Amino acid sequence: MTGRVLPYDVQGDGPGRALVLHNWFGDRTSFSPLRAHLDDALGTYAFVDCRGYGEARDIEGDYTMEEVAADALAVADDLGWDSFSVIGHSMGGKAAQLMLLDAPDRVR
């Protein structure tokens, strides 16, 4: 990243923290049906748009899974999260695995 963090929005203010990464050809709105069922008192959830999708559609890059993982870690940095879980659907799950390899001390 060149100092620019991907678009994301945060729901909840609970002690559990989770980055939420969408599926291939989706964006963070893919999780809209799920969001009504989250317990905001237990968790804080950051829903991220990956490069090339949603509000990050025009952000240039290599569009690799490694870049998705690095971008998601940059979002966690922006939020000031030292430790967090990752929820990933489809390609978001693959990025979550790469994040665990890149930052095993941060990903729960």
Inform me whether the pLDDT recorded for 63 exceeds 50.
Answer: yes
Task: Annotate 11-70 with DSSP letters as a single string.
Answer: E---SEEEEEE--TT--GGGGHHHHTTS-TTTEEEEEEPPTTSGGGTT--S---HHHHHH
- pLDDT at site 2: 40
Domain spans in the chain, listed from the N-terminal domain onward: 8-102
Inform me whether the pLDDT recorded for 1 exceeds 60.
Answer: no
pLDDT band at 84 (very low <50, low <70, confident <90, very high): very high
Four-point Cα dihedral 43, 1, 66, 76, nearest 10: -10
Q: Which CATH number fits domain 8-102: 3.20.20.70, 3.40.50.970, 3.40.50.1820, 1.10.10.60?
A: 3.40.50.1820
d(CA 32, CA 28): 8
